[in-house]
Structure 1
Amino acid sequence: MDPTRVDLSALPVVEIELSRLSSVSSPRTSGEDPDHVETLLSAEWELPPILVHRPTMRVVDGLHRLKAAQVRGDTKIQARFIDGTESDAFVLAVEANIRHGLPLSLADRKRAAVQIIGTHPQWSDRRVASATGISAGTVADLRRRGGENGNEARIGRDGRIRPVDSSERRRLAADLIRNDPGLSLRQVAKQVGISPETVRDVRGRLERGESPTPNGNRRLRAKQHPLSLTEPDLGHALDRERLAVLEKLKADPTLRLSEVGRILLRMLTMHSIDGQEWERILQGVPPHLYGVVAGFARDHARVWAGFADHLENRATDLAAGVIA
């Protein structure tokens, strides 16, 4: 069983002596935040149990709670134990520290991603990104800088093994799409062995008359002009066909005449701006807010990706007659 997939809330709570615990190897390089410790000391509610790696007695999650207990003069603290390897324990520590309490800094999350790439080289970029709270593109860039590209396959967030070099599978997906355009993204993905998002990219390339496999030119341009959003990579400059689809959606009475439909249309329209407008917005972000705004953008991107996955799943179920 993968320790990083364990339901931590289901683990039993025990009381353990503070003297037995270790706080080394924390993903938080800056150490404890005194203000956060003070907040915990003044809390009127019961603090949740800390998480401890049983083989090493290292605190995986709860260093600030441990510090608060030490300041209060406590000798024991409530904890949950996890087993597994130290590298898996580190992953759990990172995941815990990006989801609640005092979040890890962007620099700490990147350092954690580099460490996880080293200890879990078979993990996909998206799975590492999910564990560290950064984008899959950033993980891929960190992986390239480290020279790690020799694995033939990686394990994704869903636990499935997928090949790193998917060029041949992309071509197979393209053949399936050409022969049966009515197949859903998930149906093609399941037959070929790639992700639905990759199938989406293949379909988009075919619609634009491009090769189903990336040629790398767009990535090269992005590196040469890192602030240019006039390319479709970041600006998502909409072509005429997509704008026409948006206009049809606006005219659809099932959307236009319902409150939820109008909210969706406003959201789609808000994001349907060209590359030059994205560039103007980018230039207008104050430097001291770069990290904050980037975090919000990544969070919203994950929400949209999850929204798209749910819609595709429903479309597949509808086609299969699972839902009416």
Structure 2
Amino acid sequence: MVRIPVGDLLPADSPRRSGEDMHHVRTLAEVAADLPPILVQKSTMRVIDGMHRLRAAMRANADTVRARMVNCSDGQAFMLAVRSNIGHGLPLTLADRKAAAHRVLLAEPRWSDRSVAALTGLSHKTVGAIRRRSTGEFPQSTERLGRDGRLRSVVPRPVPAPAPPAPVTPTAPVTPMAPVTPPAPVRLPSSPESARHHQHTQLRALMQDPSLRLSENGRALLRLLSTRAVSPGDWKNLLRELPPHCVEAVAGLTAHYAAVWQELTEELKVARVVVN
């Protein structure tokens, strides 16, 4: 175990598709006792396991963090990250585990369903379903590597033939549709204080909506919205102590994130027109 300067570490190739849970980070930052050391890939200085602990150390203004260095390939680092996040800490969501299983199957198509299931915390039936749905993506193999390290022969599944084209039938004349009236624009609060209150009110209402809370994708969306909630006043506080050499990198990232959120906003506008 060694102590590594926080600034020397790179973010993890994490199986968490929605990033870190900032509520969990705040909780860890308040823990008085030393947290377990993080795992770091020695060749790249990329975090394998422990991004929440690293964020907590940064939040506490720590200069260094305890770490264990691991010599491994990038693929091994990802599998170790999955295994570590299944075994302890904040649990991976079902969607995260399925995505991890898909990635492991791409890297190791000869692994048996039970081997991938043991790594990702899924049932072997779920892994088998993922393999069947993505048959065209994985190289076909007549062998499977079991958890005991032994190779066993299997009969490859045949690739289903493409469905014949549907017969062409004459189309009826198209009736012109009535013009769609776009919804009225959303009026945003004028002052920063009212904007903050409006933002928190909307987020709180969404957090209490059962249709979101009771679905896996809904909970993932709520986590994403809650961790990205920010107001102009918050940014002023964050940027006040931003080192000058970090300005260009932060500006590039915020521009990228803004473009992604703008694209999502445009899709939501289209969805709102369809619903209305």
- When normalised by structure 1's length, the TM-score is 0.47
Of 41, 50, 56, the residue aligned with 2:29 is: 41
Of 78, 94, 98, the residue aligned with 1:110 is: 98
**Partners in 2 of 1:143 and 1:22 — Cα distance?**
32
> What pairs up with 1:249-268 in 2 under 5 angstroms?
none
State the secondary structure of the residue aligned to 1:52: strand
CA 287–17 in structure 1, closer or farther in 2 if over 3 Å, else same: closer
Q: Give 1:287 deviation, angstroms.
A: 11
**Partners in 2 of 1:290 and 1:136 — Cα distance?**
23
Q: Give 1:149 deviation, angstroms.
A: 6.1
Q: Give 1:24 deviation, angstroms.
A: 4.1
Match of 1:54 in 2: 42
**Partners in 2 of 1:16 and 1:287 — Cα distance?**
40
Unaligned runs of 5+ in 2: 157-210, 217-276
- CA displacement 1:206-254 (0-9 Å, x = unmatched): xxxxxxxxxxxxxxxxxxxxxxxxxxxxxxxxxxxxxxxxxxxxxxxxx
Is the Cα–Cα contact under 8 Å of residues 143 and 149 in structure 1 kept in the other structure?
no
> What pairs up with 1:151-300 in 2 under 5 angstroms?
151-165=141-155
Is the Cα–Cα contact under 8 Å of residues 22 and 58 in structure 1 kept in the other structure?
yes
State the secondary structure of the residue aligned to 2:62: coil
State the secondary structure of the residue aligned to 1:59: strand
Alignment: residue pair count: 160
**Percent identity (aligned):** 47
Deviates more, 1:146-155 or 1:126-135: 146-155
Q: Does 1:81 align with 2:62?
A: no
What do you get for the CA RMSD once the two structures are aligned? 2.1
Match of 2:129 in 1: 141
- Which structure's residues are more often helix, by fraction? 1
Match of 1:3 in 2: none
- CA displacement 1:249-304 (0-9 Å, x = unmatched): xxxxxxxxxxxxxxxxxxxxxxxxxxxxxxxxxxxxx996687xxxxxxxxxxxxx
Deviates more, 1:149-158 or 1:135-144: 149-158
**Partners in 2 of 1:287 and 1:103 — Cα distance?**
19
Q: Give 1:71 deviation, angstroms.
A: 0.9
CA 287–73 in structure 1, closer or farther in 2 if over 3 Å, else same: closer
Is the Cα–Cα contact under 8 Å of residues 13 and 47 in structure 2 kept in the other structure?
no
Q: Does 1:122 align with 2:110?
A: yes
Q: Give 1:45 deviation, angstroms.
A: 2.0
Q: Give 1:44 deviation, angstroms.
A: 2.4
**Partners in 1 of 2:35 and 2:21 — Cα distance?**
17
Q: Which runs of 4+ in 1 moved over 2 A?
A: 286-291
Q: Does 1:93 align with 2:81?
A: yes
| More contact order relative to length (CA 8 Å, sep ≥ 6) | 2
**Partners in 1 of 2:129 and 2:10 — Cα distance?**
33
Is the Cα–Cα contact under 8 Å of residues 155 and 162 in structure 1 kept in the other structure?
yes
**Partners in 2 of 1:113 and 1:46 — Cα distance?**
32
